[in-house]
Amino acid sequence: MAIIQTTIDMHVHTTASDGLFSPTEIVAMAAQLGLAAVAITDHDTTAGVKEALIAAEQFHIKLLPGIEISTVADGQEIHVLGYFTNNDDELWQQRLIQLGATRESRNEMLLAKLNELGIVITWQEVIEIAGDAHGSIGRPHFAQILINKGYVNNKQEAFDQYLGEHGKAYVQPLRIHPSDAYQWIKEAGGVAILAHPGIYHNDALVEQLLQAGVDGVEVNHSDHTPDQIEYYQSLAKRYNLLMTAGSDFHGIDEQGTQIHGQLGSVSTSMEVYDQIYLLHRSRMQ
């Protein structure tokens, strides 16, 4: 059944980072599902936005340009979504280069750690598996190599045993604090949203981060329980924050595993799109 054309999925990844579909394919799929709009929120890069904007015109759907920035607070990796940033802004572009350098450092550390564990992987193999996303290589790319080489059966095992926070090869480079990401996004005319707070399993930290200058919180996410959704709604109301929703769609991998949610399975009203756009316009004046 098609989704009524008044909703938007605000959290989607493409081949510009660790998604399995190109920006054009994502936009086409969103239009086919009946979404009114879709966001492109690749990790630490806006490389897929231009292609997606062109596709959005072709498929008569609105495009919400975005990014998902990796940060750290109290030793915990925290993700911050940014929408409607001015990607022509010179300072913003310099900061994106910095984010890319941090991600590259993390990947080098991860590769070295895996090799120390006797898992022989070359950088060339990583580049080949990443394809178009070689500028924003992430742990899912390493997970796919571990599957291909027979070390694990699926990506969940790869993260549980090696790549996740408690995995043998987990590494944490020096990253910016979420409050820095909020500021960077705002200075680029964008709107900052704390992503999927439920997966951090630290609501005390989440509440601190919601008081640190963010514009909103991703209340509804594929990995949130109904109780979590209700709780984050209450926090958003308490601190007068925007409430967003997204599937965090990456695609279905070669083993048939759905990564987070299906495209369009978590969405919200286009009123939220309008609220974000108005806030963005006020910052560009």
pLDDT digits (tens, 9 = 90+) for 128-146: 888 775 668 888 889 899 9
pTM confidence score: 0.89
Residue keyed to tokens 């609105």: 62
> Strand 216-221 and strand 268-269: pairing?
unpaired
- pLDDT, mean of residues 43-51: 96
Greater pLDDT, 37 or 256: 37
Which pLDDT belongs to residue 142? 92
Most confident of 34-38, 98-102, 248-252: 34-38
For residues 84 and 64, the answer to whether their CB atoms sit within 8 Å is: yes
Domains of the chain: 7-86+172-284 (3.20.20.140)
Other CB atoms within 10 A of residue 278 CB: 11
pLDDT for position 53:
98
DSSP state of 2: P
Residue bearing the bigger pLDDT, 198 or 3: 198
pLDDT of 209 > 60? The answer is: yes
Question: Average pLDDT, stretch 10-31?
Answer: 95
Q: Is 149 helix (H, G, I), strand (E, B) or coil?
A: coil
Mean pLDDT of 17-27: 94
Q: What is the mean pLDDT of residues 179-183?
A: 98
| Per-residue confidence (pLDDT) for residue 156, from 0 to 100 | 87
For the chain, the distance separating the N- and C-terminal CA atoms, rounded to the nearest angstrom, is 41
Cα-flanking dihedrals φ and ψ of residue 38, to 5°?
-145, 145
Say what percent of the chain tops pLDDT 70.
Answer: 95
* Dihedral sign, Cα of residue 247, residue 252, residue 256, residue 259: negative
Average pLDDT over residues 7-35: 96
User: What distance in Å separates the CA atoms of residue 209 and residue 37, rounded to the nearest whole number?
Assistant: 28
What mean pLDDT do residues 73-97 have? Answer: 96
pLDDT band at 230 (very low <50, low <70, confident <90, very high): very high
Q: What is the mean pLDDT of the chain?
A: 93
Q: Span 120-129, mean pLDDT?
A: 90
pLDDT (0 to 100) of residue 1: 42
**Least confident segment among 163-167, 219-223, 241-245:** 163-167
Residue 4 has pLDDT above 70, yes or no: no
Residue 44 reports pLDDT greater than 80: yes
Sheet of 37-40: strand order equals 242-246, 216-221, 191-194, 76-83, 62-73, 37-40, 7-9, 268-269
pLDDT digits (tens, 9 = 90+) for 97-107: 999 999 889 88
Indicate if the pLDDT at residue 2 is higher than 60. no
CA dihedral 84, 89, 95, 101 (to 10 degrees): 100
Q: What is the mean pLDDT of residues 112-139?
A: 86
Greater model confidence, 135 or 3? 135
For tokens 């992503």, what's the residue? 195
DSSP 101: H
